[in-house]
Amino acid sequence: MAANTDANTEANATQVSRPSNSPARTMQSGVWPDLPAALSEQAVLPEHADYWRLRSSYMRVGTPGVVLRPRHEDEVALAIGYAGTVRGELGTAVPFSVRSGGHGISGSSTNTDGIVLDLSHLRDIELLDVQAGTFRVGAGATWGDVAAVLTPHDLALSTGNFGDTGVGGLATAGGVGYLARSQGLTIDHVQRVKLATADGRVRWVDAHHEPDLFWAVRGGATQVGIALEFEITAPRLHSSSGDAAIIHQHIQYQVSDLPAFTEAWGDWIRAAPREAESFLMIQPAGNGRAVVEARNVWANDDTDAAIPTLQAAESLGRVLGNQAQICSYPAIIPTPRQQHTGQQRIQMRDVLVDRADAELGAALAASLTHSATLLTELRALGGAVSDVDALATAWAGRHQEVLAATWVHPRDIAAIDASFAPIQALGTGMYGAYSSDTRPSAAQLTWPGETGRKLRAVTEQADPDLLFDQGLHLRATPTQ
């Protein structure tokens, strides 16, 4: 996703205003319980010089009452205990947000007048076994940081298309990246997770230790608890340079018949070897036409093997521009390390769709005619994503061929829904973390059927008082 920078961060900071009875004030005046001494040192209140840097996420301007910045797991446990005490005394309406990279699309990693637990101090990355590709990473690191550490060892992990995205949010939610067809989702490579639950306990969970929690934290996002560290195995790319090299092809098409183009793109990527991945960004260009930007990735630098597939991509439509290059994996996931000021003021919607065909193309075309629609995206799934059983993790959507998403002007909810309605109608699943929609219907689509039943049962045990009920949450919905 392209970043829309709000350079005037200082001006943004001066906009802080809060009602006189807000928790931030009541904390100072003694209505909030006192912070434990160990947390006070790292607590950032609105009058603190660092507050303007920490209050917002990428998608939302926040005005939390306090930002807590734990340096290690004991302080996380204290913070969870403190949040429980505050909510016990002042009511569960006091929001509690967990933040790793701050790129969450629903904006739930900040809040108004609540507590934000910011994990950015937990950002160590350690290669445990270079040969096996195993590394340990703190939730507060970014995927750009991870790629920089892995690349010199010819290792690359499918994460997202933007390096500033946080490890904690993405590695608990899914992870649909440029290497998805060859490697699967990010969560498919997670071996162990150090997890803090609502009772303040911190422990490693994996396939043998509390396997239900391990199942749920891979796709169930924040509902299970707070992931503090991950052990992950990154695949080796087998590039000739020994530097995680890939082939990146960027094509711009002018398209006058989006259903025919989508059908052709679907046929092409379905038949392509798994090394090929394709992301499309589709924008209206007037008179019923669209401009389509394709970012195609071949997951190594074997040009002989790649050329037939990349050449075939050039015949999918009228090509306005075409470039292909061999580059290292980090080169295609920009990591600008932006200050978060709520700068990306759009709404997003997504669904998983069974088949990339003319019917989907017609739905994209219909969505693009709506005045609220900015652009639509398609990301090819299948390949290694579909190798994993739908019940093996809490990410249920293993059979669908494509993720379809729309960027929408932040207007009223009716306009946003109307803009996405044609595509929504084809959805048989959803990637909850790639959407601003946190309504019960979104949770049901993200965690349908048996996945939803199991996730609900696990989280009822792990978080009985819904401490982590921020944003998309299954238990806001009736039992299916």
Ligand X SMILES: Cc1cc2nc3c(=O)[nH]c(=O)nc-3n(C[C@H](O)[C@H](O)[C@H](O)COP(=O)(O)OP(=O)(O)OC[C@H]3O[C@@H](n4cnc5c(N)ncnc54)[C@H](O)[C@@H]3O)c2cc1C
Of 411, 368, 249, the closest CA to residue 319 belongs to 249
In whole angstroms, how close is the CB of 42 to ligand X at the nearest point? 17
- State yes or no: residue 189 binds ligand X (CB under 6 A): no
- State yes or no: residue 376 binds ligand X (CB under 6 A): no
Tell me if 367 sits within 8 A of 163, measured CB to CB. no
For 132, residues 6+ apart whose C-beta sits below 8 A from its C-beta are 233
Residue 402, token pair as written in the block? 């494509």
- State yes or no: residue 227 binds ligand X (CB under 6 A): yes
Stretch that binds ligand X, among 74-82, 145-153, 161-169, 322-330 (CB under 6 A): 161-169
Among 172, 239, 262, 300, binds ligand X (CB under 6 A): 172
Stretch that binds ligand X, among 8-16, 175-183, 255-263, 448-456 (CB under 6 A): 175-183
- State yes or no: residue 98 binds ligand X (CB under 6 A): yes
Among 46, 65, 163, 168, binds ligand X (CB under 6 A): 168
Stretch that binds ligand X, among 71-79, 173-181, 238-246, 417-425 (CB under 6 A): 173-181
- State yes or no: residue 338 binds ligand X (CB under 6 A): no
Stretch that binds ligand X, among 12-20, 96-104, 198-206, 234-242 (CB under 6 A): 96-104
The 3-state DSSP class for residue 190 equals strand
**Is residue 269 within a helix (H) or strand (E), and if so which, with residue range?**
helix 258-271
- State yes or no: residue 1 binds ligand X (CB under 6 A): yes
Of 159, 181, 148, 328, the closest CA to residue 230 belongs to 159
Tell me if 470 sits within 8 A of 96, measured CB to CB. yes
The 3-state DSSP class for residue 417 equals helix
How far is 131 from 235, CA to CA, in rounded Å? 10
Centre a 10 Å sphere on the Cβ of residue 35 and count the other Cβ atoms it contains: 20
In whole angstroms, how close is the CB of 84 to ligand X at the nearest point? 17
- Encoded one letter per residue, x for contact with ligand X by CB under 6 A and - for no contact, window 292-331 reads ----------------------------------------
Stretch that binds ligand X, among 19-27, 73-81, 83-91, 98-106 (CB under 6 A): 98-106
For 252, residues 6+ apart whose C-beta sits below 8 A from its C-beta are 291, 292, 293, 294, 319, 320, 321, 322
In whole angstroms, how close is the CB of 178 to ligand X at the nearest point? 8
Strand partners for 193: 205, 230
Give me the sign of the Cα torsion angle 360, 361, 364, 369.
Answer: negative
Range 409-468, binding ligand X (CB under 6 A): 433-434
Region of residue 471 (phi > 0: left; psi between -120 and 50: alpha; otherwise: beta): left
Stretch that binds ligand X, among 73-81, 101-109, 235-243, 441-449 (CB under 6 A): 101-109
The residues of the shown chain that bind ligand X, judged by CB under 6 A, are: 1, 57-58, 97-105, 108-109, 119, 139, 160-162, 165-166, 168-170, 172-177, 221-222, 226-227, 433-434, 470-471
